[in-house]
Structures are given as C-alpha cells and as structure tokens.
Amino acid sequence: MLYLFSSSDLNHSLFVFFALFFVLCYEAINGFHDTANAVSTLIYTRAMSAPFAVIMSGVFNFLGVLLGGLTVAYAIVHLLPNDLLLNSSSKHALAMVFSMLLSAILWNLLTWYFCLPASSSHSLIGAIIGIGLTNAMITNSSLVEALNIPKMMNVFLSLVFSPIVGLIISGSLIFLFRFFLKNKKNFHHIHMTPLEREKKDGKKTPPFLIKAALILSSIGVSYTHGANDGQKGIGLLMLVLIGIVPSGFLINLNTSKKEILYTKNTINQLYKYYSTNKVIIIKNISNQKKNNYPIKNYNYFKIIRNIKKTRSLLSKIYNYNELSIEKKFKLRHFFLFLSENIDQTIHLLNVSKKEKYFLEESKVNILKSIEYAPMWIILIIALSLSIGTMIGWKRIVVTIGEKIGKKRMTYGQAMSAQITASISIGIASYTGIPVSTTHILSSSVAGAMLGDGNGIQVNTIKNIALAWILTLPISILLSSFFYRIMLLFI
C-alpha cells in the first residue's frame, strides 16, 4: 500500500491519500447508514443488546466483504464507460474521483441526519452516471455512449424490482407464520411486540427459539450486506486507483507466469474459434442488420484485429510489469473489448452448449487479469464498513422499528423482514447484482406489516419513497456540479 505514495510528486501523493481517505469515509458512512438496517430489528425486539448487536453486525459485515468475491465490485467499475476511464488525463481522473465521492458522501449524510433509510448504492450509481453524462456534454460526444447502457439497465432493474420482491416475499412469509404457527405452543409469542411480551409475561427478551431465529436472520443480513455493499466499496476504490494510479492498477501486476501463459493460450484458442467460424459469424451479422437488430461495436474483422494485437502484446512477456503504461492501457482495452464481444457472439449465434461453455470460460480467463483487488484493499474496505456499523445506527433503528407500521413491530414481522432481506441480498451478491440493503429491508418491514393486517404509516412511507426517488437525480446533479467545479481548479 505504501508504494502508492512513493511518487516524488508531493501533490500527486496528497491526492492519492485524500482519495483513499474519502473512499474509506464513504464506506464507513455506508456502514452506519445501511447496516443499521441489519441490527434495527434485532435491537428493537430486544433479542440482543445494542452494543453486542452492532459488534456482531460489524464482525459479519467484515466477513461478508472478505469472502463475498468481486462480482458486484466490477458491476460498479464497468458502469463507467471503458473509454472514459482509460482515456482521461490525470486532471480529469482526479475531478471524476473527488466529485463522485463528495456527492455520494454528502447525500448519505443528509439522509442519515433526517433519519431516512436512503440507499448508498443509489447515491454511488447516481454519482457515476453524473460523471458520464457531464463528460459527454463537455466533450460534445454522444449521450447514449456516455454510459454503459446494458450494465446500467441491469442495475436499474435490480434497484427498482428488489424492494417490490422484498415486500411481496415478506408479506407472504408473515402470512405463513400466522397460518402455521398459531397453534404451536413454542411459537405462540411470535406475534407479540416486545412491550406486549413484557406486560403479559414480565420478560423483556423474546423466547429462546424466537431469539435464536432473530439473531441468525440478523447475522444473515449483516453478512450479505457486507458481501454486496462491501463489494461496491471495493469497486469504488479500484475505480479510483485505476483513474489516479493507472500504472499500478490497470492490470494485476501480481499475475503469475502460469496465469499469463494460460491467458495466452485462451487468446490463441479464441483466434482459432473465430477463424474457423468466420463465414457463419459474418452471415449472422448480415442477417441481424437486415432485421435492424442493433449490433453495438460488433465487427468480425475488428475482433480478429484485436485478438492479433492482444497476441502480439502478450507474445514476449511473462510478467505484466514488463509492459509500459501505454501497453497496459492497450491490453486492458483489448481484454474488455474481447469480453464484451464474446457476450455478443453468444447472443448473436446459435452456439452449441459446448461452444457456449468454451466462450464463457474464455471470458472468465481473459478478465482475471483486470477484474481483481489486492488483499489490502479488501481488508481496509472490510474494516471501514465494520467500524462504520458500530456508530450512528440509532437514528435508523427508530424509523424501522416504529415509524413504518401503524403498530409496533412484532417478533414475527422482524423475522420475516430479516429472512427476506438476507436471502434476497445473498442471491443478488452471488449473481453480481448491486442492490440496496436499505430498500429491501424497509420494503420487507412494510410487507410484513401489511401481511399481518397492521397497516403502514403513510407519511413515513412517503418520506422513504421520496428519498428513494430523489437519490438518483440529486446524486447525478451533485456529481455533475462538483465535476465541473473541480475541472476549473484541479
């Protein structure tokens, strides 16, 4: 990590330091803003005391980041178009980094201050969109090409539909609890609120089995939150470092000779595949164009040229450190270009299962050298998120526990919301979809309240919905504003 500051240019070292500092601040704010959702039901139902709950959540958030992989991280990185990321001057890279971070941090702090469970994911994605659109306007380039539209659409769909799915599943789950457990002696307390339990039984904590279920489901939310939101932090930090210190992060410089040789073999096999299927591919492209099917950047001869250029770059090296900064830029560009065109090849051609497996494996092998994160990055993001978890959680707990439903939350409603959130976020993390922990849990609580026939507080739902609607446009405007200002002064 210290090699980042080894540059003789003091200003550059300071910019790197502040960039790292702001990313870690963002992740810590994400911790006490979003992770309050993971402990809110646990604390509110008195299943665990607040100090132990936040420490436990912090630990499992840490583990989630550590073990969660990098699929979501690079879904975030690839939101910013490759050309914008790789062709920026150091001035533009710094402006992008700081405007992105400032806008996301500012909006997160404002919504936390007003006790609104808003989405850190939304704010980060909005900030990235703002950068892309503003850069397109400054350079007079196409607004359509300013963003990675396919990736953006996948993210938008996940952010829109995940709260709806959470509401439906949680409502269904509480209905099943009510139906199947109403006559079970061990679970007859499940539909009590903590206050009702105290008045009726004289006990402040839930029964053992219910308490165990609440703790386990809360652990699930904390772990999956770390796996999903922690990866966003990793992706953000890699985005920052690729922009500011490209020589050290464009390509994984720790890639072994064996892995580089494997990449060379993959490129050679792809060349053979495309050469063998030349007639079929060109014919399919021609047919698709006749049917007005939009084929973005897909050209057989361009693919062959890029494969040849990649082979040439890799032919005489066994260590990526041997490449100049210009060649690292080119190699990263070629790898990304080939991975995108492999996806289009699978989509355009009626490939067999064997061919599809070969192409998908080739894509994975190609991207290994650029979709990576050093262990020190994963560790500091994990620490920042877990430390953030242990502070500032109280404001959101009250909103989740008392201000969504018309009545206070029962043990069953808390369990339904947490089980729904942990499963939904876990699936999203595994499939590489960045979702909002805040929106999934808030909608799951609302679904549990509605499924139990309690109703919801309209004003609170309006405020949460308003924050949900406003987060994206405000983040876009903020990052755009900061980007323009910083270009004048950096």
Q: Which of 119-128, 218-227, 267-276 has the lowest mean pLDDT?
A: 119-128
Rounded CA-CA distance 391/363 in Å is 41
Q: pLDDT for 126-159, tens place per residue?
A: 888 888 888 878 777 766 666 666 667 777 777 7
Please tell me which residue, 7 or 86, carries the higher pLDDT value.
86
pTM of the entire predicted model? 0.80
62 touches 38 (CB < 8 A): no
Of the candidates 308, 342, 367, which is a domain's last residue? 367
Look at residue 347 and tell me if it is in a domain: yes
Look at residue 4 and tell me if it is in a domain: no
Q: Across all residues in the chain, what is the average pLDDT?
A: 79
Burial level of 348, CB count in 10 A (0-12/13-18/19+)?
A: middle
Residue 266, pLDDT above cutoff 90: yes
Please tell me which residue, 30 or 213, carries the higher pLDDT value.
213
Please check whether residues 120 and 45 belong to one and the same domain. Answer: yes
Please check whether residues 38 and 142 belong to one and the same domain. Answer: yes
Rounded CA-CA distance 423/439 in Å is 14
Of the candidates 334, 367, 400, which is a domain's last residue? 367
Rounded CA-CA distance 442/405 in Å is 11
Residue 393, pLDDT above cutoff 70: no
Please check whether residues 359 and 380 belong to one and the same domain. Answer: no
At 110, the pLDDT band (50, 70, 90 cuts) reads confident
Please check whether residues 270 and 380 belong to one and the same domain. Answer: no
Please check whether residues 411 and 299 belong to one and the same domain. Answer: no
Residue type, 76: I
Please check whether residues 357 and 465 belong to one and the same domain. Answer: no
Residue type, 467: A
Look at residue 298 and tell me if it is in a domain: yes
Look at residue 2 and tell me if it is in a domain: no
Of the candidates 335, 367, 399, which is a domain's last residue? 367
Residue 3, pLDDT above cutoff 60: no
Please tell me which residue, 96 or 292, carries the higher pLDDT value.
96
What is the pLDDT, as a whole number, of residue 310? 92
53 touches 452 (CB < 8 A): no
Mean pLDDT for the stretch of residues 379-406: 69
Contacts of residue 481, Cβ cutoff 8 Å, sequence gap at least 6: 99, 103
Q: pLDDT for 409-442, tens place per residue?
A: 788 888 888 888 888 888 887 777 777 777 787 7
Look at residue 3 and tell me if it is in a domain: no
What is the pLDDT, as a whole number, of residue 34? 65
Q: pLDDT for 25-45, tens place per residue?
A: 888 887 776 666 677 777 778
Rounded CA-CA distance 317/397 in Å is 55
At 478, the pLDDT band (50, 70, 90 cuts) reads very high
Please check whether residues 102 and 218 belong to one and the same domain. Answer: yes
Which value, in Å, is the radius of gyration of the alpha carbons in the chain?
A: 25
Please check whether residues 242 and 97 belong to one and the same domain. Answer: yes
Match 């053992």 to its residue by tokens.
208
Tokens of 50: 């607040």
Range of the domain at 394: 10-247+373-489
What is the pLDDT, as a whole number, of residue 87? 60
What does the chain come to in residues? 490
Residue 160, pLDDT above cutoff 80: no
Tokens of 412: 């069953």
At 244, the pLDDT band (50, 70, 90 cuts) reads confident
Mean pLDDT for the stretch of residues 79-107: 75
Please check whether residues 175 and 159 belong to one and the same domain. Answer: yes
> What is the count of structural domains for the chain?
2
Look at residue 5 and tell me if it is in a domain: no
Residue 402, pLDDT above cutoff 70: no
Beta bridge partners of 405: 456
Please check whether residues 276 and 360 belong to one and the same domain. Answer: yes
Contacts of residue 298, Cβ cutoff 8 Å, sequence gap at least 6: 285, 341, 344, 348
Q: Where are the alpha helices (DSSP H) in 140-189?
A: 149-180
Rounded CA-CA distance 134/140 in Å is 10
Q: pLDDT for 322-366, tens place per residue?
A: 888 888 888 998 998 898 888 888 877 777 888 899 999 999 999
Please tell me which residue, 53 or 271, carries the higher pLDDT value.
271
Look at residue 378 and tell me if it is in a domain: yes
Q: At what angle do helices 90-113 and 208-244 cross, to 10 degrees?
A: 150
Look at residue 129 and tell me if it is in a domain: yes
438 touches 228 (CB < 8 A): no
Please check whether residues 340 and 401 belong to one and the same domain. Answer: no
Please check whether residues 98 and 195 belong to one and the same domain. Answer: yes
Give phi and psi for 456, each to the nearest 5. Answer: -130, 160
